């Protein structure tokens, strides 16, 4: 019974707005939204274009970009993540020109500097249906 | 927005506690009682009521019912750390329109275990931030601080000077949880939380509440001879929201500052109470509000004495960093401290010339950018 009360690592509460994103992530693709009217690219998944309120399509990102900023998390909000500290929490600027919040993984992450090139990788979670888009130094 | 006939007529505060599990409601009641004592108002005079809290399910009508308030105007001032300033704006609108002549605005939280004291994360935070094991607001502000340091050469010593000056301001403030001096060495060697954010960059969560009483000029003159007028105020929510490559080191306070300082001059401001969830947020707001140019906040801090005795008094009671952050009372603390100063009631940390104060509020770190809500007001003591 004690185990049932242990905190679990946070997973997305997938909804109708972002389910396409998470389905694609499970197949190791990173989707962005593109406005049908003005062509603007945006992230996170929304119901309307943030520029012109147009309707949205999904496009696949190349999953490449650079580190915009980073922090080493010593105290995660959800204590279930404690086994991963320090967590390299990052903002990435995708080559498509959109800022993404994510996590840096991989052996060389300790060397990270702003401006470093990165590429998307998809990490399994404790839910077999959910893969988490993360980044590695390229 | 220029105001002419809205006054602050009083305030109330509670003690802050790092342990108390007393009900959030009893904290609100204590702050209101304190304000009624100060103003000589009776409960039946309260015709407008606003509450700002994270304690669900205490929405404003429920709290008003609990406190036995029959009112003409009720508001859930739910704007994060900007809740104080933004609630004042809405109450001022209602007073100017003639809907009411006295409004009581309350912010508070406690470790009351009978109610959830934190809301569920919003969709974008829950699904696209928390899943990575981020460290709450500490991590999101850390991303911003790193950029400010790398882009502008801002040093830890410059950022730390803000925390240290505020601590000096807190030494004689009985409400402050932290009343021991802080040295630069203390600041620099404090434990890393989410680098470059250290322990002494962070606020201490606590139980407490703050209350502000706003009234029409006509009513105000019958309540007090310490007349403090609301002069001008402005807000913006989700600055840069449509920009997928936003400048993370510029807050909505840039727009707010342009509006505020089209009505008053920088040189007219005697003291500033700047929402201080982190020292870097204070520095960025000093820049955004136009006290110096973007990126020169570090040099500005070097060049000025930020204590209550100094030439640019900031967070004269110690701010949230030294007093403590009683949840969403944080956005009220700064207004109450400004009122203490302008009424000449800041014993032990009184600014010598305190006629005009600028107060800011900022709330919610949002996805990929910075602040969700940003607001400011100017108040003025008139004889």
User: Would you write out chain B's pLDDT as a tens digit for each of its 383 residues?
Assistant: 799 999 999 999 999 999 998 999 999 999 999 999 999 999 999 999 999 998 866 789 999 999 999 999 999 998 999 999 999 999 999 999 999 999 999 999 999 888 877 778 899 999 999 999 999 999 999 999 999 999 999 999 999 999 999 999 999 999 999 999 999 999 999 999 999 999 999 999 999 999 999 999 999 999 999 999 999 999 999 999 999 999 999 999 999 999 999 999 999 999 999 999 999 999 999 999 999 999 999 999 999 999 999 999 999 999 999 999 999 999 999 999 999 999 999 999 999 999 999 999 999 999 999 999 999 999 999 98
Q: In angstroms, what separates the C-alpha of A50 from chain B's closest C-alpha?
A: 5
Nearest residue of A to residue B134, measured between CA atoms: A76
- Give the 3-state secondary structure of residue B96: helix
End-to-end CA distance of chain B: 23
Asked whether the beta carbons of residue B194 and residue A71 sit closer than 8 angstroms, the reply is yes
Q: What residues pair up with A69 in beta bridges, in sequence order?
A: A91
Q: Name the packing angle between helices B279-288 and B137-152 (round to 10°).
A: 50
In a domain, residue A6? The reply is: no
Provide the 10 A C-beta neighbour count for residue A89.
Answer: 25
Q: Does the structure show a pLDDT above 80 at A30?
A: yes
The residue-averaged pLDDT of A71-98 equals: 97
Q: How high is the pLDDT of residue A2?
A: 46
Residue A10 in contact with partner chain B when CB distance is under 8 A: yes
The Cα B88–Cα B359 span in angstroms is 11
In a domain, residue A3? The reply is: no
Chain A residues within an 8 Å CB radius of B244 = 40-43, 97-99
ipTM exceeding 0.90, yes/no: yes
Residue pair B374/B351 in contact by the 8 Å Cβ criterion: no
| C-alpha closest to that of B208 among B60, B31, B73 | B31
In a domain, residue A9? The reply is: no
In a domain, residue A45? The reply is: yes
Give the residue numbers spanning the domain of A20.
Answer: 14-137
Q: How high is the pLDDT of residue B1?
A: 78
Chain B residues within an 8 Å CB radius of A98 = 244-245
Q: What residues pair up with A137 in beta bridges, in sequence order?
A: A118
Residue pair B86/B275 in contact by the 8 Å Cβ criterion: no
The Cα B117–Cα B21 span in angstroms is 11
Provide the 10 A C-beta neighbour count for residue A97.
Answer: 12
Confidence of residue A5 (pLDDT cuts 50, 70, 90): low
Q: In angstroms, what separates the C-alpha of B249 from chain A's closest C-alpha?
A: 12
Q: Does the structure show a pLDDT above 50 at A1?
A: no
Asked whether the beta carbons of residue B192 and residue A72 sit closer than 8 angstroms, the reply is yes
DSSP state of B2: B
Residue pair B159/B282 in contact by the 8 Å Cβ criterion: no
Q: In the 3-class helix/strand/coil scheme, how is B124-142 assigned residue by residue?
A: HHHHHCHHHCCCCHHHHHH
In a domain, residue A109? The reply is: yes
Chain B residues within an 8 Å CB radius of A53 = none
In a domain, residue A57? The reply is: yes
In a domain, residue A4? The reply is: no
Chain A residues within an 8 Å CB radius of B143 = 68-71, 89, 91
Q: For chain A, how many structural domains are there in total?
A: 1
Check residue B250 and give left, alpha or beta (phi > 0: left; psi -120 to 50: alpha).
beta
Lookup result for tokens 């008139």:
B382
DSSP state of A81: G
Q: ∠ CA B356-B326-B205 to the nearest 5 degrees? A: 125
Q: CA dist B140 to A70, A81, B175, B367, Å?
A: 9, 17, 29, 9
Q: Does the structure show a pLDDT above 90 at A4?
A: no
- Give the 3-state secondary structure of residue B156: helix
In a domain, residue A67? The reply is: yes
Nearest residue of A to residue B147, measured between CA atoms: A69
- Give the 3-state secondary structure of residue A77: coil
Q: How high is the pLDDT of residue B114?
A: 83
Lookup result for tokens 């275990």:
B113
pTM over 0.95: yes
The Cα B93–Cα A136 span in angstroms is 51
Give the tokens for residue B90. Answer: 């809405």
Pairing of strands B356-365, B371-382: antiparallel
Mean pLDDT, rounded, of chain A? 95
Domains of chain B: 6-113+207-229 (3.40.47.10), 123-203+231-382 (3.40.47.10)
Sheet holding B6-13, edge to edge: B73-76, B48-52, B102-109, B208-216, B6-13, B227-237, B371-382, B356-365, B271-273
| C-alpha closest to that of B77 among B138, B28, B148, B133 | B28
Dihedral of the alpha carbons of A10, A115, B363, B305, in degrees to the nearest 10:
130
State how far Cα A38 lies from the chain centre.
25
| C-alpha closest to that of A95 among A129, A128, A134, A60 | A60
């Amino acid at each position: 019974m004690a185990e049932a009360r242990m905190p679990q690592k946070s997973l997305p509460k997938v909804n109708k707005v972002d389910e396409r994103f998470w389905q694609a992530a499970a197949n190791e693709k990173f989707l962005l939204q593109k406005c049908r009217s003005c062509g603007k690219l945006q992230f996170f998944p929304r119901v309307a274009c943030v520029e012109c309120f147009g309707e949205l399509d999904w496009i696949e990102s190349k999953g490449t970009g650079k580190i915009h900023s980073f922090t080493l998390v010593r105290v995660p909000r959800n204590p279930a993540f404690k086994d991963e500290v320090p967590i390299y929490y990052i903002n990435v600027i995708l080559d498509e020109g959109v800022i993404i919040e994510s996590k840096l993984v991989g052996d060389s992450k300790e060397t990270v500097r702003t401006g470093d090139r990165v590429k998307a990788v998809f990490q399994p979670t404790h839910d077999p249906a959910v893969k988490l888009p993360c980044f590695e130094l390229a | 927005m220029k105001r002419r006939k809205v006054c602050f007529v009083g305030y109330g505060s509670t003690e802050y506690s790092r342990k108390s599990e007393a009900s959030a409601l009893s904290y609100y009641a204590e702050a209101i009682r304190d304000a009624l004592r100060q103003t000589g108002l009776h409960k039946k005079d309260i015709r407008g009521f606003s509450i700002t809290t994270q304690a669900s399910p205490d929405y404003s009508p429920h709290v008003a019912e609990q406190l036995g308030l029959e009112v003409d105007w009720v508001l859930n001032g739910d704007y994060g750390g900007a809740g104080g300033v933004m609630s004042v704006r809405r109450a001022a609108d209602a007073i100017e329109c003639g809907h009411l002549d006295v409004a009581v605005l309350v912010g508070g939280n406690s470790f009351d275990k009978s109610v959830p004291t934190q809301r569920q994360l919003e969709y974008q935070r829950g699904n696209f931030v928390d899943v990575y094991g981020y460290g709450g607001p500490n991590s999101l502000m850390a991303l911003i601080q790193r950029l400010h340091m790398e882009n502008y050469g801002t040093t830890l010593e410059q950022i730390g000077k803000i925390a240290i000056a505020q601590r000096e301001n807190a030494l004689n403030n009985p409400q402050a949880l932290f009343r021991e001096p802080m040295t630069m060495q203390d600041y620099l060697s404090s434990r890393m939380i989410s680098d470059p954010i250290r322990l002494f960059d962070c606020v201490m969560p606590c139980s407490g509440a703050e209350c502000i009483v706003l009234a029409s000029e006509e009513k105000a003159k019958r309540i007090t001879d310490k007349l403090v007028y609301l002069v001008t105020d402005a807000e913006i929510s989700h600055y840069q929201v449509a920009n997928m490559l936003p400048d993370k080191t510029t807050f909505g306070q840039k727009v707010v500052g342009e509006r505020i300082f089209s009505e008053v001059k920088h040189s007219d401001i005697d003291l500033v109470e700047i929402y201080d969830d982190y020292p870097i947020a204070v520095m960025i707001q000093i820049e955004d509000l136009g006290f110096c140019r973007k990126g020169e906040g570090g040099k500005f801090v070097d060049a000025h004495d930020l204590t209550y005795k100094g030439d640019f008094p900031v967070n004269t009671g110690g701010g949230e960093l030294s007093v403590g952050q009683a949840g969403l009372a944080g956005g009220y603390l700064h207004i109450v401290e400004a009122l203490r100063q302008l009424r000449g009631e800041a014993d032990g940390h009184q600014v010598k010339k305190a006629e005009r104060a600028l107060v800011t509020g900022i709330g919610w770190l949002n996805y990929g950018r910075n602040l969700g809500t940003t607001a400011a007001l100017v108040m003025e003591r008139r004889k």
